[in-house]
Copies of this chain bind each other. A is one copy, B any other.
C-alpha cells in the first residue's frame, strides 16, 4: 500500500461521519500546496472569442506562476501584452463509489488561479523562472545541467501571472449515500488513484557508467 492509499484508508472512517465533503476555499496555503504538487497545469486563455485550455509545465515563485514555451507559439504571443488568464492544477486522489449513481464522485484537490499573464522581459527573471519550472518537476535539476545559451534564452518565451485570485476545491473521504440506500447489498467505497514516478530509463546514448543524478530520486520522492 502506498502512502496515499494508507492515508485514504485512514480517512474513510473519519469522513464517514461528515455529510458534506466538497470543500471550496480561498486559503492560499492550501492552494499553494496543490500548485506545488502538480505535474502539469491547464492554462486557460481566450483566443478569437473562444476559450482555450492547454496543458503546460509551470512553477510557482511566491505569488506568481510562470509558464514557458517557444517564443513563437500562440500561447506565448497572444498573452504577452497582459491579458486575463487562468490556470488550474488538479490532483486526482480517488474514485468515490456510492450505492446510487447519483452519489458517485471523485476525490481530488484543485487550485484555480486567476491573473493577468504578461511576457517576462528581464533576463534575470527569465532565468529564475526557467530554473523554477525545471526544478518543479526535477528538484535540483537546473544546477545539474550545463548553462543555458543566449540563443536558447531568445527562443524561449516565459509568461508570468500574478496570482490575483485563487480558489480551491478539495474532496476527500468515502461515499455519502442516502440513508435509504444503506444496508443494501450494493458495495461502496473508494478506489485510490495513485500517480507516481517509475524507475528512470537512461537514453541509449548515455554511457553505462553515468550515474542517475540526485534530481531523479528527488522527483520520485516529491511525486510519490
Chain A interface, DSSP helix/strand/loop, else mixed: mixed
Interface-facing stretch out of A25-33, A59-67, A186-194: A186-194
The answer to whether A186 and B106 have CB atoms under 8 Å apart is no
Q: A55-B90, A175-B203 are in contact. List 11 more A-B contacts (CB 8 A).
A: A2-B198, A9-B201, A40-B92, A50-B114, A51-B52, A57-B106, A144-B186, A146-B186, A188-B206, A191-B219, A192-B198
Q: Please report the C-alpha to C-alpha distance between residue A207 and residue B219 in the assembled complex, in whole angstroms.
A: 40
The answer to whether A189 and B203 have CB atoms under 8 Å apart is yes
* Residues of chain B within 8 A of A8, CB atoms compared: 201
The answer to whether B54 and A51 have CB atoms under 8 Å apart is no
The answer to whether A101 and B201 have CB atoms under 8 Å apart is no
Q: Does A71 sit within 8 A of B, measured CB to CB? A: no
Min distance, Cβ A184 to any Cβ of chain B, angstroms: 7
| Complex: chain B residue closest to A223, CB-CB | B193
Q: Please report the C-alpha to C-alpha distance between residue A97 and residue B47 in the assembled complex, in whole angstroms.
A: 32
Query: Lowest 3 CB-CB distances: which A-B pairs, in order?
Result: A44-B51, A192-B198, A44-B53
Min distance, Cβ A67 to any Cβ of chain B, angstroms: 13
Most buried by B among A9, A90, A141, A203: A203
Most buried by B among A53, A137, A195: A53
Quick one: CB contact mask for A104-143 with B, threshold 8 Å, 1 for yes? 1010101010100000000000000011001001100110
Query: Can you report 29 residue pairs joining A to B where beta carbons are below 8 Å apart?
Result: A5-B199, A8-B201, A9-B201, A12-B204, A16-B203, A16-B204, A16-B205, A42-B88, A43-B53, A52-B112, A53-B88, A57-B106, A99-B145, A100-B148, A101-B134, A101-B148, A102-B155, A138-B191, A144-B187, A174-B204, A187-B206, A187-B216, A188-B205, A189-B212, A191-B220, A192-B198, A192-B201, A193-B195, A193-B198
Min distance, Cβ A133 to any Cβ of chain B, angstroms: 9
The answer to whether A100 and B220 have CB atoms under 8 Å apart is no
Min distance, Cβ A215 to any Cβ of chain B, angstroms: 8
Min distance, Cβ A165 to any Cβ of chain B, angstroms: 10
